[in-house]
Amino acid sequence: MAPDVGPVKWPVLACVAFLAAVTVHVPFLNLPPGDAVHVYLRSSGIDPLVYNTPEGLIPIYYQRYNGIVPYRDYIFEYPPIPAATFTLSMIAALILKSVHPVNQKALTILLLPLLGAIYLSFLYWIILRNKNLSILTLVATSIYIILIIVFGLPLYKFYFTFVLFCAIAHATLMYQFWRLVRTLGKEESLLLMLLSPTVITYSTANWDLFSAAFMTKGVREILSGRVKGLHWFALAVPVKLIPIFPTVALTVTLLKRKELITEGPKVITLAILPYMLIPIISWKGFSRFIKFHSNWYCEYGIWTLLFKDLDLIKISYLASVAVTYLVIVIILKKRHFVYDSLDCLLKVTYIMVAAPFVFSYIFAPQMLINILPFIIPLYPRLAPLVDTLNFPVAFTLKFDDLHNLNPFSAPSLTYFLSQSRNVLLLVTLLLSFHRLKGCRSSKGSIKTRGTSG
């Protein structure tokens, strides 16, 4: 039986919020471009390749446009699933030639309602399981793509193709979050997610919607006692590398020894196998992928409160790994206590997901999207404050630049906002650890929990 949508038509509100997100990064507004647009401009030779340093973003050189294959034809620092969506967007932008380019503002006004129709038909389709809605989604998508190809200029073709993937990811995330809060009996927290300023600001900036959707689906399956929830966590890893930590931690913590033998290899394979495609495509591209990340210093991370020398990237990275595994060790000491209640299991999952992001040497504002589905139902009063501190960071960079302030150190506004967010998240982690004391021990397995989903 299809789930009831309820008296409040929340998918309409979700659609409006997503369309607002689309306008934030639409090219003609000249607001800070999202990472995807930036990489497009860089890989097509329009913008320079930059590296992060303690002095700020330093242009290195302009890449010559050599093709559309990531890792091989240009430096691409993102994992395989972003590479796939990026490549399809590049094909739309640079391979499929425009037939009759028009005023791009007028095209945007035409595309937004059509994108809204795609979003709503897709979201109602996965809620109601109505085949007619799936046909409507395909028809609207076809018209949308034709309009982009025929009338769009390359940058707009890239952006609106990428936005189409984001629409599917955003709708999926909101659907999974809705199902999650219904399972928890906390439907009132849905509004906080729908109207999250961070989600609205960064939905079309990066690929965090995709990893957040996978992990939210994963935790919902885990709360329902299904092992395949760990598989969904594993699928978040080819989107963003940091989810490897909660994936491994949850797998080791939630499964019995016999289950680890059968399910563990499946989880690791789903997480790691897509990365094997990178050296197959280009070994040089794979080495550049590794070098790009290993040369990126502490950015928005909590470690800048401890280390004033921002070149200490290796110390920050090793500390990130050490703290994450410290979390795992602590959880393992209380093995199987997590099956006592949904609330206990959600706290454990929140710790596993949030800790690697909070203690990472890079904690860009869009990465909070991965944490919001877990912190909102657990801490509905603190979550909006974290959200409010986080979302302006992309815009305060310009303010700090105008006043010649380093955004990653005091007394810049960006530094104040990002570190206030980090400290508040650290408080929620400590609270979660403290509240785990009330969880009773149980010898159950994730497979034997009978909670309905």
Extract the tokens encoding 29: 């507004």
Distance CA 281, CA 272 (A): 16
Q: Under DSSP, is residue 299 helix (H, G, I), strand (E, B) or coil? A: strand
The dihedrals phi and psi of 130, each to the nearest 5 degrees, come to -100, 120
> Domain map of the chain by residue range?
10-438
Residue-by-residue pLDDT tens, the chain, 453 positions: 344 445 448 999 999 999 999 998 887 766 666 788 888 888 776 655 555 554 455 555 455 667 788 998 888 889 999 999 999 999 988 887 777 878 888 888 999 999 999 999 999 999 998 889 999 999 999 999 999 999 988 888 999 999 999 999 999 999 999 999 998 889 889 999 999 999 999 999 899 999 999 999 999 988 887 888 899 999 999 999 888 888 888 887 777 777 777 888 889 899 999 999 999 999 998 998 888 777 667 778 887 777 665 455 555 566 666 666 666 665 555 555 444 577 777 888 888 889 888 888 788 899 999 999 999 999 999 999 999 999 998 788 777 777 677 777 777 888 889 999 999 999 999 898 888 776 654 544 554 343 333
pTM of the model: 0.89
Residue type for position 83: A
Q: Which stretches of 224-276 are DSSP H helices?
A: 228-236, 244-254, 257-272
Which residues contact residue 152 at a Cβ distance below 8 angstroms, ignoring those fewer than 6 apart? Answer: 98, 101, 104, 107, 160
Nearest to 22 by CA among 242, 200, 246, 214: 200
Residue type, 425: L
| 3-state SS track over 147-194 | HHHHHCCHHHHHHHHHHHHHHHHHHHHHHHHHHHHHHHCCHHHHHHHH
CB 211 within 8 A of CB 353: no
First-to-final CA distance of the chain:
13
Output the DSSP codes for 311-373: T-HHHHHHHHHHHHHHHHHHHHTTTTGGGG-HHHHHHHHHHHHHHHHHTSSB--GGGGGGTHH
Kindly report the CA angle at 419 between 415 and 420, in degrees rounded to 5?
115
